[in-house]
Amino acid sequence: MNAGLSMPIQRARWDMPRLLLRLAILAWAGFWTWFVVLDGLHDAVSLGPTTYLIMLAILAGLWIPTVAAWLRPLAGAVCMALAGALALWFFPGAFARGILAGPPIAFAVALFWIAKRERAHGAEGGPR
């Protein structure tokens, strides 16, 4: 009976880093969604309908890595690393690069760690 009780407790302990990372990624994606939508609505007055296509492209580039990170840590890590590399390449200035590329790269490192940990412990790595 003791062995049966230790498994759920041990599994819950290992799931806590993944849960905290998911919450951090959702907070990050939620903030940038809010920012992009409000800025896009402001720019739509002067730029017209193309603003909505730009907003859609940015939001897709934001939420595809977020959903991938939620479902599969390794796929999410690759998507986040690519998003961070794209932000490093695209945005000028150290501050813009740090604020826009830093979090996805940090999330990618954490997701790689979680994927490696789950593989080492025999976890499936799927949605929980």
Amino acid letter at 109? V
Question: What SS3 class is residue 72?
Answer: coil
Amino acid letter at 15? D
Tokens of 12: 């819950």
At 66 the pLDDT is 95
Tell me: pLDDT of 79 over 90: yes
User: For residues 49 and 80, what is the distance between their CA atoms, to the nearest angstrom?
Assistant: 29
At 27 the pLDDT is 96
Tokens of 61: 């580039």
Tokens of 33: 């969604």
Tell me: pLDDT of 125 over 50: no
At 123 the pLDDT is 55
Does the model's pTM come out above 0.85?
A: no
For the chain, give the number of residues.
128
